[in-house]
């Protein structure tokens, strides 16, 4: 029952699932950057002592790793749920995967922005793990676009390049989107679906 509810809720962003300490660290990283944030700043803002913060997370790097891991896990679960909802229709799979990416990068803008921009600050195994999760996420789009071309639903002669371009366009939403902007996340997702259909070579009717 829980899995069914999770699959049905990939469009829902009604609450912030990060625990309070990570929410505080995320806000500090967004405002000052990872390297510009001290562990004391995070502790003070979280109303903890530095030893109290270290009890939960042993280092600033551990805070970043936890934030990035949550972002990638959340996006993966939502993406696979969207594809499950789409079924076997390859154009619908493209539409729902794009919708999922845009909604995530709009609703979870700060989380997605830090996960993207602070990869340079991850070290060792954490960096390797992140790159593996990022590549796994990219392969979802690669598969959809590749299947569309194989089925002659998409006409692009450059499926791998187009797949990367679509993901880059969708993830870029976190760098500029503002909640009080011109379009809601839903409206933006609809526009991006239309643009990606054109990008892969699906003919669409002109809008009045």
Mean pLDDT of the chain: 92
Q: Would you say the C-alpha torsion 114, 119, 121, 123 has a positive or negative sign?
A: positive
pTM of the model: 0.89
| CATH code for position 113 | 1.10.357.10
Residue 97 within any structural domain of the chain: yes
Mean pLDDT, to the nearest integer, of 164-193? Answer: 93
Query: Are residues 109 and 140 both part of a single domain?
Result: yes
Q: How confident is the model at residue 2, as a pLDDT?
A: 34
What are the tens digits of pLDDT across the range 126-160? 999 999 999 999 999 999 999 999 999 999 999 99
Residue whose tokens read 């510009």: 36
Query: Are residues 99 and 173 both part of a single domain?
Result: yes
Rounded Cα distance between 29 and 120, Å, is 13
CB 65 within 8 A of CB 126: yes
Query: Are residues 188 and 111 both part of a single domain?
Result: yes
What are the tens digits of pLDDT across the range 59-103? 999 999 999 999 999 999 999 999 999 999 999 999 999 999 999
Q: How confident is the model at residue 181, as a pLDDT?
A: 80
Domain interval for residue 47:
19-58
Mean pLDDT, to the nearest integer, of 39-52? Answer: 96
Query: Are residues 171 and 81 both part of a single domain?
Result: yes
Q: Domain count of the chain?
A: 2
Give the pair of three-digit tokens for residue 92.
């619908």
Q: How confident is the model at residue 207, as a pLDDT?
A: 44
Query: Are residues 180 and 100 both part of a single domain?
Result: yes
Query: Are residues 192 and 162 both part of a single domain?
Result: yes
Is the pLDDT score of 54 beyond 80?
A: yes
């Amino acid at each position: 029952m829980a899995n069914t509810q999770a699959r049905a809720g990939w469009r829902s962003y009604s609450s912030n699932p990060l625990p309070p300490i990570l929410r505080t660290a995320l806000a500090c990283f967004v405002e000052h950057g990872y390297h510009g944030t001290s562990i004391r700043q995070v502790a003070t803002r979280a109303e903890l002592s530095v030893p109290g913060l270290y009890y939960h997370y042993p280092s600033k790097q551990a805070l970043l790793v936890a934030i990035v891991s949550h972002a990638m896990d959340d996006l993966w679960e939502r993406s696979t749920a969207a594809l499950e909802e789409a079924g076997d229709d390859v154009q619908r799979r493209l539409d729902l995967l794009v919708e999922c990416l845009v909604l995530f990068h709009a609703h979870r803008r700060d989380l997605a922005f830090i996960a993207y921009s602070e990869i340079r600050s991850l070290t060792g195994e954490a960096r390797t793990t992140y790159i593996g999760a990022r590549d796994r996420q990219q392969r979802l789009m690669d598969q959809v676009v590749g299947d569309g071309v194989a089925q002659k639903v998409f006409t692009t002669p450059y499926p791998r390049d187009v797949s990367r371009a679509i993901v880059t366009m969708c993830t870029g939403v976190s760098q500029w989107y503002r909640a009080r902007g011109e379009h809601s996340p839903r409206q933006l997702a609809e526009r991006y679906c239309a643009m990606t259909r054109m990008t892969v070579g699906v003919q669409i009717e002109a809008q009045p």
